[in-house]
Structure 1
């Protein structure tokens, strides 16, 4: 009898364990760790578009495993609306992304992929994705973005945030909100200046990344006046002083104040990630940055200052020669 009771108790225990495991098991398409890349798919994609998106985003994996995550209107509401967006649970999502975690210190790399030969991300640039990601607290990752239809690209970024949360790396909502404000600000300034001679989105985003790096060096107690000085300096070093108007500069300063207030500067990795972004931007736009310090591209005020310095240097040398 004792043996029979022991068998019954053992069977009951096994059934309880099996039942618990089944109840708490993850869906097959949910990511459980960063052992494999995560592909976020817009919920509005047709079956054909979904297959095309998967093929586009995972081509670099050469058949390696990946997990998938669906991004819908509710995802947009959760991550993007706190920054002022007006998405609803019924909002469509087409832009998609693949998020591939990389080794520590590798930085944030973003590549927008053509879908059937066309770049359908109409508003957000690769460099804007990078800057928003570092503000949100994203670290060391390759992000591939595409869309089956022309769209601004917000869904892909919300997918990045969702993928991190799905892997247990939930990002700070205050930083995500600051990142979205940054995205909107830089996108508007880029649109306003895109036809100006001597301007590029790479220069603007490099100036912002460099500003973040310098802000991180001073820490979370940095003042608005200090941020203003940093912005003036990074705009000048990227030859944007005479292109970015005072209103746009104020927008950049206010945007970076929000980055400070979000708590982003408290992160030990923020400075490193911002520095990596600046280096990455410059590497990808060598044709632009190699010309910034050449004589023909220096701005008018710089040339005047050089002339003044040269004049007084010559005068000083002449006076010295007179008395020798």
Structure 2
């Protein structure tokens, strides 16, 4: 009888784990946010404390991947970003949302996640107040590993973080959408041609920038070429990279199209206002 009771209790325990902990969802919380801010993040992610796998990420972990590629100001000394990662069905692609992230765009995260080998995931990077978002990638990758049981190599994590910083810096100079589109196309050609030689990679960067009518200075070219050299050394799944970059390209096209539509709408509004005031003085 005791034996059956023990088996029944064990079954009930396992059943509760399956019901109350969704293994396909993992949330990371920045160690330095307050209890109220933690609750705010969980509410944003629409998860409950005892029914979701929740882990903390600290500044030491972020530094492990950002030191040497980011400035001290970009790294900071506190971890304030949190992340939600949900594993989706195969072929779903990567869907990224951001809240209170004011320097890294969702397309930048997606590009870096492709480099890290992440696929088929819904990702939300958020903070309780505006932050740059440079450290959020550490938590996202940690959550993806836990949710899937897959290991992302330390080198891939390092290069993916380097990509976020390179994109952010370049975005300040030429615009975030142009920066992401440039890196997307260069990365796509890099993988397609399987380039390894530094001079070939540098020439590729210059050629693609020229075709996109993007003016790069010497530092831009050096940084981008260095990033692409590091990407070329990774053991990447070529087909997965191509698929991910194609999806990113579509999302970038949609973003640019939406921006053009907004600009057209504003032009019409201003024209109408101008016409109204002109009619008053006729």
50 and 228 in structure 1: CA distance in 2 versus 1, 3 angstrom threshold: same
Show CA shifts across 1:173-226 (max 9, x none): 1111111222222222222x1xxxxx421111111111111111123x543333
Aligned 8 A contact 2:83 2:123 in 1: yes
Show CA shifts across 1:29-70 (max 9, x none): 9x7742xx2221111221211111122233xx8xxx643222
Aligned to 2:212: 238
Aligned to 1:142: 122
3-state DSSP of counterpart to 1:176: helix
Aligned pair partner of 1:133 in 103, 109, 113: 113
Show CA shifts across 1:225-254 (max 9, x none): 3323332333234331xx322321222111
Q: 1:184-223 counterparts in 2 under 5 A?
A: 184-191=165-172, 193=173, 199-219=174-194, 221-223=195-197
Aligned to 1:276: 247
TM-score (norm 1): 0.66
- Partners of 1:84 and 1:246 lie apart in 2 by 19
- Partners of 1:146 and 1:232 lie apart in 2 by 35
Q: Say whether residues 1:251 and 2:223 are aligned partners.
A: yes
Aligned to 2:41: 53
- Name the structure with the higher strand share: 2
**Unpaired segments ≥5 residues, structure 2:** 262-282
3-state DSSP of counterpart to 1:148: strand
- Partners of 1:105 and 1:256 lie apart in 2 by 26
Count of paired positions: 250
Aligned 8 A contact 2:59 2:79 in 1: yes
- Partners of 2:95 and 2:191 lie apart in 1 by 20
- Partners of 1:33 and 1:85 lie apart in 2 by 35
Show CA shifts across 1:254-310 (max 9, x none): 11011111333x5441222122212221222215689xxxxxxxxxxxxxxxxxxxx
- Partners of 1:80 and 1:162 lie apart in 2 by 15
- Structure with higher Rg: it is 1
288 and 150 in structure 1: CA distance in 2 versus 1, 3 angstrom threshold: closer
- Name the structure with the higher helix share: 2
- Partners of 1:224 and 1:152 lie apart in 2 by 31
Q: CA RMSD in A?
A: 3.5
- Partners of 2:258 and 2:216 lie apart in 1 by 21
3-state DSSP of counterpart to 2:223: helix
Aligned to 1:285: 256
237 and 110 in structure 1: CA distance in 2 versus 1, 3 angstrom threshold: farther
TM-score (norm 2): 0.74
3-state DSSP of counterpart to 2:129: coil
Aligned 8 A contact 2:186 2:204 in 1: yes
